[in-house]
Structure 1
């Protein structure tokens, strides 16, 4: 028997499919007293402890009482250079960028500063149970080197890219079409596919790139297999009007990206708050994804994303915190806000749909559902241990809960980083709460 085999015992829950497609009852698998077997960083088997323990008598078992094990959370949109400006006083999007974002990102020209922030950023993700994220760097290529170096040291599955931005931004934060292409190409060859790391071509958003830069970004996106494309789309009505002014020949915001061949598999568009039916259909037919960022959209007053409209069109959707416009690294808090967003539209967000969005749905949006997102055998052993007694209020609420759905919903409404007892990446503990 392998000495690397290890078992984790607790209540265990994971998604099997999208509840919107298969129905709630068929969308998940739950073991009240479960056992998760892990070997060499991958899931070997999941089942009832009573069934599996007799077959693995010599295996070391780590048992968590009053706890729930779920797959690690997946953040499909976040900005690591904005860590230091989280909770900056709210403005509308464009004013907020000029007042807070751009001055903060200027500091990432310094590699040492970028490395310090990357360490803080990753620690916050792991404290909140997030094991995979799609991450904006800054315009400086050293910011991406710093991030990937820190992620590689922890053997995390992370996706990141250097921002491309050659207009409508301060001179100290702009590149050129040619330098942006060359720097990105260098980073791709150094990092893409190395360990569990992936690269994303990252134009900030259409207004900050010239047609020439977007054309080269599209060329880059098609040059290497498995690359991601990560940008913003239709977050704010003033932003949408600005895009119309800058690209009058295009019929809409999404059409700008489509024209420059920046749309397709592994293209992730953050926000997508104000999309028309035609744009939703185009996203679906190209296999592109939208990152639902409820805390930042509420914080900046962008509007309420219509999740059901995206679902009805078959668009892939993940969950994003969007730090620093987002107000928390916690996907539990993001789900709390997502529930409220749906309520404000007279719609519902089932707790098992929430679980899906934060785990397997995010993996599906990132085309990583063959590697992460649930506990199928052979997948990466990225998981989080959630504490049913994290706070006195959570502990008391759990005493009143009569169903798994109640417990799960209470965790998403009341939970935050305190609810995360331990986080594992590729079978190794990368965060343990004091």
Structure 2
């Protein structure tokens, strides 16, 4: 699949690539999807024509309270388009505005506050009209214990504000997720508003090392199966699911029962996201998808994991990520320091016996996957010298020079370029010769 736009998403802009004259790039992008001409109209239509549920206007009738989950700042969800019409429908249905809560599903990420919260919500009317608050996974008294899952014994603690409300709605973006298969839907509930015990169980080596806990796979994926059991434990939940194109335009929206409406969005986006490639490459160049995903090194790891199926063993994966906000949590920093101190094998050995993973060390565990395949290089304009050291990957000061050096190293002028990083899933499929 040949392309001509030689640039990578980086921060709020793009990095142009200047390749050697003999380079033969294969540019891998999502298939083009038509943007919806009127996003708000499409959202209202989804409310009126839901998947496996009554319309939103009917759902709101007779309810005394509502809780709407939104993703945190690391996901470019178009909250500005749907929150107001959703809340207006609730108020028109008789739910008092003071009984409507917008809850930021932070998981174990930091809270979004101040100007960042205003950016996340995207509509001053919402901030003025209803409560907008953050989830705090470590505040144990704020969660309801729903008992362990039957299948794998995962402890289930969910934010009380969501469990105890009359009308529950999760909202989010459906895109590939390197552990849970796909983001959105049930994932916004758990780990989104789950307690730390639930999240740390999800992210233990028992789940992370399962070969079915990978991007774009829901069949037999232990994380997905636990999430389904958890949302059924909570009870009646609805979801608004969005799909965006590379320019962050809304291309699809579904609303309805949380499991069915999420699957409708997955079905829509799957074929355009998984890109079959007939060969592997010694040089793969990718990004962390730009802002907001490339704000931290923690999120950057996702872009290292998703393309490894097309990286030739022993090859070089070069990733560009601004890391404008730095490294990530102090727990992640500590995990990375342990990786550098112990090395990959000994680090992994410290994880396998744990029932509860330490906070954020799972992202370090995920970084081991591309490190097992080949050489990882990072181009960034962020991070301190010490932070760069504990990335445990090679830092390159010049992206173009790193690409040229990789092509020369293997004597192979072919390379794969993935401008949008982890939002595109390339898979190696050897094409059979025609009979």
Question: Do they fold alike, i.e. is TM over 0.5?
Answer: no
TM-score, normalised via structure 1 length: 0.23
TM-score, normalised via structure 2 length: 0.23
Larger helix fraction of residues: 1
